[in-house]
Structure 1
Amino acid sequence: MKTLNKKQLRRILLAAMISAVCAVSVQAETLDTRIGKLEFTHDFANGYPTDATVNKLFDEMDFQRAVQAYIWAIPAVSMSQWQHEHMATLGAENGQIVFIESYDDRAGGLTYNSTTPYVLPFIDLADGPWVAVMPEGEVRGAAHDMWQLSMTTLTEPGKYMFVGPGQEVPEGEEAEGYKITKSPTNSLLLGIRLMSTDRDERMK
């Protein structure tokens, strides 16, 4: 029986390795993913996506960006719709306080508590700063911009001044004693909860 010497054996092994590498490099691969099958010209590590896969991936990128834009805009869109319902359905004007007690009163608002009575105005600062005076009593609240971000709490009695984007904060006597809040949006919401369990007390 004829045996192979070391030199011949090395040549055979090298040839086998080259054949294996070539076989892998030319073999197409298909991957199953959440968005369907993705095809590559060779194996995933060494190949590149086919035209159909490229188009599918771009479609997926467009879809994801659309979803992200939708989620990103929800706070502003919902607040704008709430402000619209506040004026169109409840008949409130700029800065006018509305007593919110029934389900019908809650038109447009996504974040109301179903059992909590509120008083709230939407305020448009486009024409200049506004002032809200919080009385003593069982009231709790906060001021929110149109992205539904809280700007300041309204838990202490006092005078609160709200200044819109690009507006100057009043100086001297005009601003004395006021708690100043700069709003990043022209419109804002003052959401105030009436905490007393006695309705007559709440209505004072």
Structure 2
Amino acid sequence: MKLAHGAIPRLAVAVTAIVMSSAAQAQTSRYGALVDAPFEKDYPTADTARSLRDELIFQRATQAYLWALPAINIWAMKEGSEKVFGAGYNVLPVWKERITASTLVTTPNSDVVYAMGYLDLHKDGPLVVEAPQGVQGMFDDFFQRPLVGPTIDGRTWIGDVGLAGPDKGKGGTYVLLPPDYKGEPPKGSVPPGAFVYRSRTYNVFLFWRTFFSDPKDLAKPNAQIAATRIYPLGQKASAKPMQFPDANQQPADLLFPRDIRYFEMMSRFIDSEYVDPADLDMRGFLHTIGIEKGRPFAPTPDMRTLLDSAAQAGFKMSKVVITEMLAQEPGGKYYPDRQWVNVFAGEDTSFQSSHTFTNLEQRSGYFTSAYSASPGMVKNLVGAGAKYPVTFRDKDGHFLDGGQSYTLHLPPDIPAKNFWSATVYDATTASGLDNGQAHPSLNKMDQPVQNADGSTDLYFGPNAPAGHEKNWLRTVPGKGYFVIFRLYSPEKAFFDQTWKPGDLEKTS
């Protein structure tokens, strides 16, 4: 059969209209049932009351899920860490041979040495942290907001420690105060020259990163971390001895759940935490679903089923946000002609760049797939801090497929004063992709082979391209993944875009 001229475009329009009509009908059916739920003599029927109540609970639960992502992400890390390594201000797990895919946590960086600790300012009171020389670290509260530090020479320090912090990488002493601490610490209790930081939550996340130039020699970065000392204010002499367990020897699951256990975890978090007046409205959402400070979380079987569905739906919503909606936000793409997404488009750790609202899309998108934030990560700082372009799609706009092969072209003179790296992550969990390689990443220190013009091609796919094995990251057929291209101490060429990475291009 031969179609008349113009029939194909008309057919495409018709098919599109049918698809759109089907989607609209489904939406109308769902919401129309709510709008048209019957009332009798101005009051809801029993069936109407039940269906609208369930809908209210479901909606509040999904929004509570998204609101709490920063907190439950880090609370899951705390619980998972303490289950394996133990709890206490003196316990600082270290990934001494670089973090591998055996540790389940959102978007870890395999190209530095990590140390992550969880401090309880309610249980232990104000704590002193002696940060060693050479770390790039931070203190975040448990909504992953950087702690507010001192104002020095007109600048208020927020969260950063070490290279991007007030000690400028020389090492320094920090005093951490809980949210209900009134006034200043007693005279003589604060070590001379210490930087005082205040937290909005009782729980505080301590996160150190140290660097290396040779992946086979990690003695120095490990020694730097081992110089850390943590103790209650005024109690250095009687403090518990520090412990630095090797976290790669005991793989831990630090991921937050995606079902009813999310809300069970949320109840434990709420019970342990300071009540911030700024959170009272959202805590009202939690009250609706049975979560309240000082009250046991004991949902009925029907409520458990409803909340389990809400958690699963909330997780899927968060994935739609990060893969679809972030790129549509102002500044959401680094380059208009490429797929690289900017997860910190607002350059603000509170995701309030306009100061008129909180950008919940940016916040929930980020914290479903990552943890920790500090000014050094989000601000545009030439020659300092870091940048994290991320891509979920290939050059043609299709999601990355673990069964396909791709090439990423990096022009010469990659503008990273410290180093650059490319890492592959599981599209569902956002943990390092368990691809069978020692680390799911390639970095400058691995010395990948350069082309004659100084550019570098990286290869992604299930099989190594012949002759390019050193520049290859294995992917897993049947699994989606995404890529983060990190630049530590990015240089001017990155910011003025005289240097731009290519997109991942499908190859045969």
TM-score normalised by structure 1 residue count? 0.67
Shift of 1:111: 4.3
Shift of 1:116: 3.0
- C-alpha contact 1:128 1:167 (8 A) present in aligned 2: no
Other-structure match for 1:166: 180
Shift of 1:120: 2.3
Structure 2 residue 77 is the aligned partner of structure 1 residue 82: yes
- CA distance 1:62–1:88, shift in 2 (3 Å): closer
Shift of 1:63: 2.5
Shift of 1:112: 2.3
Which of 84, 91, 101 does residue 96 from structure 1 map onto?
91
CA offset digits 1:47-79 (Å, max 9, x no partner):
x9x968887666544322221011112222222
Structure 2 residue 148 is the aligned partner of structure 1 residue 131: no
Alignment of 1:20-99 (within 5 A): 33=28, 35-38=30-33, 59-99=54-94
Partner AA of 1:154 in structure 2 = V
Shift of 1:132: 1.0
Higher strand share: 1
Among the aligned pairs, what percent are the same residue? 27
CA offset digits 1:20-48 (Å, max 9, x no partner):
xxxxxxxxxxxx626253566xxxxxxx9
- C-alpha contact 1:143 1:150 (8 A) present in aligned 2: yes
Other-structure match for 1:11: none
Other-structure match for 1:118: 114
Distance 2:205 2:187 in 1: 27
- CA distance 1:112–1:34, shift in 2 (3 Å): farther
Partner AA of 2:161 in structure 1 = L
- C-alpha contact 2:99 2:108 (8 A) present in aligned 1: no
Q: How many residues align?
A: 166
TM-score normalised by structure 2 residue count? 0.29
Secondary structure (helix, strand or coil) at the match of 1:67 reads helix
Structure 2 residue 136 is the aligned partner of structure 1 residue 140: yes
CA offset digits 1:106-159 (Å, max 9, x no partner):
45x33422433212221111221111112222x201101111222211122211
- CA distance 1:133–1:203, shift in 2 (3 Å): same
Shift of 1:172: 2.1
- C-alpha contact 2:175 2:195 (8 A) present in aligned 1: yes
Distance 1:35 1:79 in 2: 35
Secondary structure (helix, strand or coil) at the match of 2:176 reads strand
- CA distance 1:66–1:202, shift in 2 (3 Å): same
- CA distance 1:105–1:170, shift in 2 (3 Å): farther
- CA distance 1:69–1:34, shift in 2 (3 Å): farther
User: Over alpha carbons, which structure has the higher Rg?
Assistant: 1
Other-structure match for 1:153: 160
Shift of 1:170: 1.3
Secondary structure (helix, strand or coil) at the match of 1:35 reads helix
Secondary structure (helix, strand or coil) at the match of 2:207 reads strand
Runs of 5+ unmatched residues, structure 1: 1-31, 41-47
- CA distance 1:106–1:164, shift in 2 (3 Å): farther
Other-structure match for 1:203: 222
- C-alpha contact 1:99 1:118 (8 A) present in aligned 2: yes
Distance 2:57 2:145 in 1: 28
- CA distance 1:92–1:57, shift in 2 (3 Å): closer
Distance 1:71 1:82 in 2: 17
Runs of 5+ unmatched residues, structure 2: 1-26, 37-41, 148-158, 224-508
Secondary structure (helix, strand or coil) at the match of 1:127 reads coil
- C-alpha contact 2:177 2:198 (8 A) present in aligned 1: yes
Shift of 1:171: 3.0
Distance 2:102 2:142 in 1: 20
- C-alpha contact 2:99 2:109 (8 A) present in aligned 1: no
Other-structure match for 1:44: none
Q: CA RMSD in A?
A: 3.1
